[in-house]
Structure 1
Amino acid sequence: MKIKILLALIFVNLMHAQKFYFPKTAVTDSAVLEKQMPLLASKLINQPSLLKLKKINRTVFTDNLYRLQIVAGDYKKSISTLADHRKAFADHNMAGNKLIVHEFYSLARLNEQKDKTSFHDALEKAFNKKYGSLSDKLTTKVGIGVDGDVRDSKRILTEALSKQKDKDSIDYPSALALCKSYLNYKTYSSLKPQIMELIAAKDQEKFIIETKDLKTKAGNTLTITIVRKKENTSPLPVILTNNIYAGAFDPFFGKRAAVYNYVGAVVNTRGKRNSNDDNDPFEHESQDIYEVIDWVSKQPWCDGKVGMIGGSYLGFSQWAAVKKLHPALKTIVPQVAVGIGIDYPAQNNIFMSYMLQWIQYVTNNKLTDEADFNNFTKWESVFSEWYKSGKSFRALDTISGKPSKIFQRWLDHPAYDDYWHKMIPYKEDFANINIPILTTTGYYDDDQIGALSYFKAHHQYNKNANHYLVIGPYNHGGAQSYGFTSVNGTTIDPVARISIDDLAFSWFDYILKNGKKPAILKDRINFQVMSTNTWKHAPTLEKMHTSTINFYLQDHKNTTSVFKQPAGKSFTTQIVDFKKRDEKETYHKVSKTDSLKITNSVYFESEVLDKDMIISGNPGGFFNVSINKKDFDTDMSLYQILPDGKAFLLSNHMVRASYAKNNEVRQLLTPGKTEQIPIINSIFMSKKIVKGSKLVLLVGVNKNPNWQINYGSGKDVSDETIKDSGEPLEIKWYNDSYVEIPIYQE
C-alpha cells in the first residue's frame, strides 16, 4: 500500500503539473462556457493521465471516460463506455441507477442529431425506448436515478468555476472536477422536469397512487403513500415501509411492492411531509407504526395481512414495530437494520462524528437535505476542525454552525440504557415475537453489528424463533437492493450476485401467499463463503465455524507460531499522545507491493500458512492490558496478506474498554492493574484463505476525527477535552492476549 501511495502521489503531482487553456471569461459568460467545455473535455480524454488511471483502477477510469465523452459531445462512444462501466460493478444496468440520467442525455442528443428535432422531443423518444426495454421491477428505480438536486449541482458547478476566477489555465484534477460538475448540472437541469412528468404518466397507466394524512390517537400527523397495480382489483397483502427519508423513495418503495403484486404502503415519520410534529428520530416508531398497521389492515384493498420491509433506519423501524406486535403484522424483512444504541449512533459505546451529519440530513427540512449531507468538503472540515481544536465532543454541533438538541440528547446516554431500550424489543420482549422473520446483512455492512444483535437476541430469548439470516459479501446498499459484481474493490463470486429484492418478495410469497420457501434458505444461517463461489448453511451463528485458532499478540519472528500459546509472559508497550493533532500517518510494509496504515496501532504478523483455511464467523478472544489511565478505546483489525502481497481486511473491532464487559454499565479500569477486555461484537466474515497467505493483526487505540476521543480521565467522554488528556496513554499489551479466529472445515 505504501508503494501504491507513493505512485499515487507521483501520479497526482504529474496531474497537477499539467495545465490546459481555459479562458477566465468562461467563468462569467455562459456562452463562452458552453463553447469551452467540449474543447476542454476533448483534451482530457487524450491525456496520458487518464490512460494511466486505466491500469490503476479500471472502474474509476471508465467512470471518468464516459463523463468526459458526453461533455465532449461524443455521445455514441459515451453510451458504449457507460455499458462497460456498469459491467465492472453491477449485474444489470439499473444497479448503478444514478447513471441512467447520463444515458438518457446521450440518447436524447443522438436522437436530436439524427432526427433534426427539438431536444424535448428527442428526450421523450429516448425515454420511451429505454423505459420500454426495462422490466417492471427496474422501471420502479428510474425515478430515483433522475431525481438529482438541481440547485446543489448548480452550487457545485459555481464553486468549481469560482476557483478559476482571473485564471486562463486549469490543472488536470480541477479540469476533471469541472467537467463532472458541469455534466451533472447540465443533465439534471435539462432532463429532470420532463422525465419526472414522463414517469408520472407511465405510473398513471399502471398504478393507483394515493397520498393521505393519518392522525394518531395522540394527535400526531403521519403522511402515507399507497400504491396499487390497476390490474389487481382484489384485496392483497400490504407491504409497509416506515420511511424517515421522505422524498423520491416514497413512491419507489410503494411501486416496488406493487410490481411484485402486493399493495405498497409507505408511511413517513413524524415531522416529515405534511406533519408539523417534532422530528425526533427513532423515538416514536413503536407507538406510531402500531396505529398505521391497524389502519392499513382495515382498508378495503388489504386482505388483513401486513408485512414490512426496508433497510437501515427502515430496518430498525420493523424491530420497533414488533416491540408491540399488531395481530395483522405477519412477517418482517429487516435489512441492514440499525441497532439503535448498539451500533448507531455509537458503535460498542463509542459515538461517531457521522451522527451529526445524519441528524441534520433528516431534520433540516420536511424531506431530506441532500445538498448538506453530500457536502463532504464541509463535513470533513467540521470533523477536522473539532479534532484539531481539542474541544469536547459535545462542541461538535456548535462547530458545525447548527446546535442540535437531538445530538446532545443522544450524548446524554453513552450506556445502552432505558432511553435506547424503549425504542426496540429488549431482552424478554423478544420472547413474544412469534412471527417469521428474514434478516439480510453483509460482511461490509456498516450496520452488521446492529442487524445481528436483533438476530442473536431473538434466538436467545425465543427458543422457537422462526428467524432466518442471509449474509454475504455485501455493503450497506448491496444487502438491501441488488447484486453488485464488486464491493470495496473486491470481485464478488458469481453465486453471491443475488437480487435481494427477489429474495425478499419470494419470502413474502412464502409467508403471505402460501408460496414456496426461497431455495437459498436451507437453514437458519445462510452465508456465502468468499473465494469459493459457494453458499453454506448452518443452524446457528456459532455453527458457521467448526473450530478456532488463537492468534496471540506476538510476531512470528519471535516464536515458532503465533497460533501457539507463549511459553513466557511479556508485553508490548504502546504510547499514544492525545495532545498531538498533526501526527503523520505511519505504514508497515507487508510486501513489495503493499503496506498497511499502522498509525496508533501495534503490528503482529503470522507465519506463512502452509494450507488453505476458511475463516468463517467473527473473531472473539480478549486482550490482557494494563494502562496508566482509567479508560481507552481499543481498535483491532485482522488482515489477510495474499500470496501476491495484497492486503485484505477480514474483520475489525472497536470498543470502549469500560463498556467491553457490559454495554449497559460503565466499569472504569484501574491504572496500573492488568485488566481483561473481551472481544465482543466484532465483524463477521466468511472467506477462503489460500495457502501461502499470512494473517496480520493490528491492535491499538481509536484516535481520529471520525469518532469521539476517549482521554481516559474517567469523566463522561463527551465532556472530556484535550485538557483532560494529561500524560500520554501507555498501554502494555500482554502476549497471552489473543484474537480467537473462527475456522470452518467440512
Structure 2
Amino acid sequence: MVPMRDGVRLATDIYRPARDDQPLDDPLPVILSRLPYNKDGSKSMGAYYATHGYVFVAQDTRGRYKSEGVWRMLSDDGRDGVDCAAWIGRQPWCDGKIGMIGTSYFGGTQHAMALAGAPELKTVIPVDAMSNMGRQSLRNAGAFELRFWNWIMLNAGRGSRAARDPGTAAVLEEMADQRMAYLEHFPLRRGQTPLRLSPEYEDWLVSAMEHGVNDEFWGAVNVADSPGNYKDIPVYLVSGWYDSWGGNNTANFMALSRTIKGPVYMIMGPWIHGRQSSSTHGQVNFGKEAAIADQWGWRREWYDHWLKGIDNSVGKADPFKTPVRIFVMGTGDGSKDEKGRLQHGGYWRNEHEWPLARTRYTDYFLQPDGGLSTTRPQVDEATSQYQFDPEDPVPTIGGNVSSGNDILVQGAWNQKGGPHLWNFQEPIPISARNDVLVFQSEPLAQDLEVTGEIEVRLFASSSAVDTDFTAKLIDVYPPSDDWPGGFDLNIGDGIVRARFRESLEKEVLMEPGEVYEFTIKLYPTSNVFKKGHRIRVDISSSNFPRFDVNPNTGEPLNRHRRTEVATQTIYHDASHPSRIVLPVIPPSSPD
C-alpha cells in the first residue's frame, strides 16, 4: 500500500527477477502500469518483464479496486504518478529509470505522468491512450461519445467504492444489465437513477454530459493543447484507424514531434481498440501481416534500448525504422475469407512525418445530383433537405469505438442493418433512410490512396437553434460474385454540434434558416480506394449510440425536457461549395 502525498494509499504489486526463488539484489529499470481495471490481472505481464530483467510494478489507481481514496477521471493521476515514481525511485531494487506501459485508460495515466514531469520517468508507450478529452473521442466537436456513458454504467459497480457493499453492487449490476433501456431515457439527471449509489461516478458522468466547452474540466491529459508541458523523453504512440483514440494519437504525434526532442515515434494499424495482435475485426480481414503477434516483445525492444542502453533495432528496423509506420488499407482482392469476411487487405509502409509531406489535399465537392467529384458546382442554387427527428436517430454501424460492450459494434462493417445491431436489425442499407444524404463518385478509373487527416466542410442551415451534422466516408465496393449487393465499408466518421461551430471554447446558438459553414473532422485513415470502387460521403444529423442525440431545442446540454424535429438544408452550389477534403497520396510513394 504505497502512500501518496495526501496520505491515501494505493494498492501496488511488485514483480522482481529471481534466481533460486530469491529476488535479485541488483537495481534494475522498472516497467510501471497504473490502471483502473484491477492490478491482479497483470500477473502474466509482470512475470514476462521480470523474467527479462525488469522490475514490473502494477498499481490500482485511486479509488479503484484495492486502492484507497475517491476515483476521479484521470484528474489525480499526474500527481499520484509522480508520488508513485518517487516511491519506486527510493527502492533498492530500482536503478532510477522507469518506463510505462498500458492501453486506453492506463495509456492515459502515462500521458498524465509525462505531463506532470515525474523525474524518474524515462519513456512511455501509450497505446490507444485517453487524451485531449474535450477535443475528440470523449467530447467530440461538442457532442458526447456515449461509450463513456457505457463505461460509467459498467464500472460504477465494478471495482468502485460502492461495489464493496454486496447489496449496492447488486443494484448497480442490475442497472448495467438494463443499459439499452436507459439509452431511451436521456438526459441523465443526478439522483434519478441507481447511479446515485456510486456518487463520484454519477457526478463525473453528469458533469461531463453537461460540459461541452473544451477547457480545464478536460485538462487532465490534454497533450495536443499543452505539448510544452510534456516531459522530453522517448515516446512511442500506438493506435489504429478504427480506434476510438486514433484521431488523438495523430494529434499528439503532430504536437509532440514539433515540441520535444523525444524522439517521438508513431504506429497506426488497421486496428480497433486494444487489438494490435489481431488482423480482423468487424466484417473485415486485413491480412495476417496486419497483426503484431508478440505484444510484449516489441515493447521490450523499445524498453531495452531506452532503459538499458542496448543497441538494437530501434531506429534501424521495423517497427522502429522510421518515426512513422502506417498500415495502408485496401489492397486486398475483395473476396470473402473462410469466415465470410471481406478481404480488404493492406500493407505496412514506413514514413518520416505525419501528415505526409507529399500529400495533395483534394476537394471532392457534393454535387446537386448526389454525385461527388473534384469539379466545383457551377449552379447558382442547389440544396438537399431532410428532417432530423431526435426520437428516431440514425443507428451506429461500426466506427471508432471502444467500451461498446453490447451497445456498439467496433470497426469495419458493411453499412447495413442486421442481428449484430440491437437498434437496426432489419437487413437494409443505412442509405435507405430518408434522413441520410448520399453523395458518391463515379467508379474510379484508377486506384486512389487517401492517407492523412480528413475534414468535411459543409454549408448548411437548420430550422433549429442548435442541432448536429454528421459525415461518414465510405469505400463502396461494386457487386461481385462474393458480394452480389456490393459492400459499403465505413472508413471514418465525424460530427459537429452546431453551437460549437465557431470554437470549442464557447457556445453560440444559430439563427434558424441562416446558412453557416461547418467543419466536421473525421478520424484519420490510410486507405486505397481501388479502381472500380466509388468514394461516398453520407451526411446526416445523428449517429446513435456513438454520439448523444441533439434534441434540437438549444436547451443547456443534458438538461433538455423537449425534443423538436429539425428541417436540415445542405447547400452544394457555386456559392456554397460543400466538400470533403481528401489527403491524396501520389501513386509513386517511396518507402
**Shorter-chain TM band:** 0.7 to 0.9
1:578 to 389, 412, 423: 389
1:229 aligns with 2:21: no
- Residue 375 of structure 1, CA deviation: 8.6
* Paired residue secondary structure (2:270): strand
* Paired residue secondary structure (2:16): strand
Residue number in structure 2 paired with 1:84: none
The one-letter code sitting in structure 2 at the alignment partner of 1:357 is N
Q: How many residues align?
A: 518
Q: Any idea what the Cα deviations from partners look like across 1:656-683, whole Å, max 9, x if unmatched? A: 2332442222233332222111233x21
Residue number in structure 1 paired with 2:566: 728
Q: Which moved more, 1:276-285 or 1:544-553?
A: 544-553
Residue number in structure 2 paired with 1:540: 353
Residue number in structure 1 paired with 2:453: 618
Cα distance in 1 for partners of 2:415, 2:43 equals: 49
1:349 to 129, 142, 159: 142
Q: Any idea what the Cα deviations from partners look like across 1:338-385, whole Å, max 9, x if unmatched? A: 12333343233211333233124334253697997799752112213x
Residue number in structure 1 paired with 2:225: 427
- Matches of residues 674-689 of structure 1 in structure 2 within 5 Å? 674-680=515-521, 682-689=522-529
1:638 to 450, 473, 487: 473
- Residue 698 of structure 1, CA deviation: 0.2
Cα distance in 1 for partners of 2:190, 2:437 equals: 31
Contact conserved, 1:382 with 1:399, CA < 8 A, in 2?
Answer: no
Residue number in structure 1 paired with 2:124: 332
Residue number in structure 2 paired with 1:251: 43
The one-letter code sitting in structure 2 at the alignment partner of 1:550 is D
Q: Which moved more, 1:490-499 or 1:328-337?
A: 490-499
Residue number in structure 2 paired with 1:527: 326
* Paired residue secondary structure (2:552): coil
Cα distance in 1 for partners of 2:506, 2:146 equals: 23
Residue number in structure 2 paired with 1:379: 179
Residue number in structure 2 paired with 1:120: none
- Matches of residues 689-700 of structure 1 in structure 2 within 5 Å? 689-700=529-540
Residue number in structure 2 paired with 1:470: 267
1:498 aligns with 2:498: no
Contact conserved, 1:245 with 1:367, CA < 8 A, in 2?
Answer: no
- Residue 594 of structure 1, CA deviation: 8.3
Residue number in structure 2 paired with 1:486: 280
* Paired residue secondary structure (2:67): coil
- Residue 412 of structure 1, CA deviation: 4.0
Residue number in structure 1 paired with 2:558: 718
* Paired residue secondary structure (2:178): helix
Cα distance in 1 for partners of 2:65, 2:44 equals: 16
1:299 to 75, 80, 91: 91
Higher helix share: 1
**Backbone CA RMSD of aligned residues:** 3.2
Q: Which moved more, 1:561-570 or 1:689-698?
A: 561-570
Residue number in structure 1 paired with 2:541: 701
- Residue 714 of structure 1, CA deviation: 2.9
* Paired residue secondary structure (1:711): coil
Contact conserved, 2:235 with 2:265, CA < 8 A, in 1?
Answer: yes
- Residue 237 of structure 1, CA deviation: 0.8
Q: Which moved more, 1:531-540 or 1:667-676?
A: 531-540
Cα distance in 2 for partners of 1:539, 1:588 equals: 34
* Paired residue secondary structure (2:255): helix
- Residue 598 of structure 1, CA deviation: 5.1
Distance 1:367 1:412, change over 3 A: closer
- Matches of residues 154-303 of structure 1 in structure 2 within 5 Å? 213-231=1-19, 233=24, 234-246=26-38, 248-303=40-95
Cα distance in 2 for partners of 1:585, 1:357 equals: 15
Distance 1:636 1:598, change over 3 A: farther
Distance 1:376 1:393, change over 3 A: closer
- Residue 417 of structure 1, CA deviation: 0.9
Q: Any idea what the Cα deviations from partners look like across 1:466-508, whole Å, max 9, x if unmatched? A: 21100011110213xxx21312221123332223432222111
Gaps of 5+ in 1: 1-212
Contact conserved, 1:615 with 1:689, CA < 8 A, in 2?
Answer: yes
Q: Any idea what the Cα deviations from partners look like across 1:427-459, whole Å, max 9, x if unmatched? A: 345355210100100011122123333223323
- Matches of residues 394-473 of structure 1 in structure 2 within 5 Å? 394=189, 398=193, 404-425=202-223, 427-430=225-228, 432-460=230-258, 462=259, 464-473=261-270
1:562 aligns with 2:355: no
Residue number in structure 2 paired with 1:671: 512
Cα distance in 2 for partners of 1:691, 1:646 equals: 15
Question: Which structure would you say has the larger Rg?
Answer: 1
* Paired residue secondary structure (1:508): helix
* Paired residue secondary structure (1:305): strand
* Paired residue secondary structure (2:583): strand
2:364 to 551, 554, 565: 551
Distance 1:275 1:319, change over 3 A: same
Distance 1:588 1:331, change over 3 A: closer
- Residue 291 of structure 1, CA deviation: 0.5
Cα distance in 1 for partners of 2:355, 2:545 equals: 35
* Paired residue secondary structure (1:356): helix
Distance 1:583 1:603, change over 3 A: closer
